[in-house]
Amino acid sequence: MPGRLIAIGDIHGCLAALETVLRGIDPQPEDTIVTLGDYVDRGMHSREVIERLMELSSQCRLVPILGNHDELLLYLHGGGEGLLDWLSFGGTTTLYSYGCQTPDGIPAEHIQFLRDCLPYYETEGHFFVHASYVADLPLTLQPPDALRWWSLREGQPGPHCSGKQAIVGHTAQRDGQIVDLGHLVCIDTCCYGGGWLTAMDAHSRKLWQASQDGKTPGQA
């Protein structure tokens, strides 16, 4: 019997929320969990989040997608300019969690985890990206900016030419509600900003949610 296909939205260093959601999911070896990116910045536990995801990869099939915050961290780690801009973009808490003053102090294995993240993931009926997409381009030809930086507030793409449903994050829904357009579902429900970390079974549409302090909707 095939396992479940579950997406988890933007985590942003919210470890307690991630732990609560994973306890609810109870990952099994046959399950595929797709994390939609933005593991670092804003929340206080970026280091622990990446460590937990590395551990999760031994419990199930983990498919991590690269987010724009993760991409920016890799750029700076590689010598790119803009450190002060990143700090105001949420990087301060990332450095705090690692106990360092620049991205150079982040452990090599964590940098490698981010380097190994995928731009997208595709199954028979769904595809998963961090941010958005160009509707009439195949996934192999998508602009990196569309996959990681485009906001749904600036424009919602139509159905993708593949006919598959898109599951995305990135555009934080401050009301804590997922966006369901039919052809696209956004599950970034703004955990770091007082909303929820949302996980969703792509087939059954079952949801698991937790707040930044690890409470479920019934406990909040």
DSSP symbol at 67: P
| 13 neighbors 36 (Cβ within 8 angstroms) | no
pLDDT tens-digit map of 124-153: 999 999 999 999 999 999 999 999 999 999
CA-closest candidate to residue 117, choices 34, 43, 199:
34
H helices, E strands: number in the chain: 7, 10
- Is this structure's pTM higher than 0.95? yes
From CA 187, how far away is CA 134, in angstroms rounded?
Answer: 19
Q: 5-210 adopts what CATH topology?
A: Purple Acid Phosphatase; chain A, domain 2 (3.60.21)
pLDDT of residue 72: 97
Q: What tens digit of pLDDT does each residue of 93-126 get?
A: 999 999 999 999 999 999 999 999 999 999 999 9
CA distances 180 to 25, 108, 113, 130, Å, are 21, 38, 30, 16
Average pLDDT on 45-70 reads 98
Return the pLDDT at 219. 81
Reduce the secondary structure of 95-109 to three states and give it as a string: HHHHCCCCHHHCCHH
What percent of the chain is modeled with pLDDT above 90? 98
Q: Angle 68-77/108-115 helices, nearest 10 degrees? A: 130
Chain segment 166-179, per-residue pLDDT in tens: 999 999 999 999 99
Beta carbons within 8 Å of 33's beta carbon, 6+ residues apart: 6, 7, 8, 25, 27, 56, 60, 61, 62, 63, 199
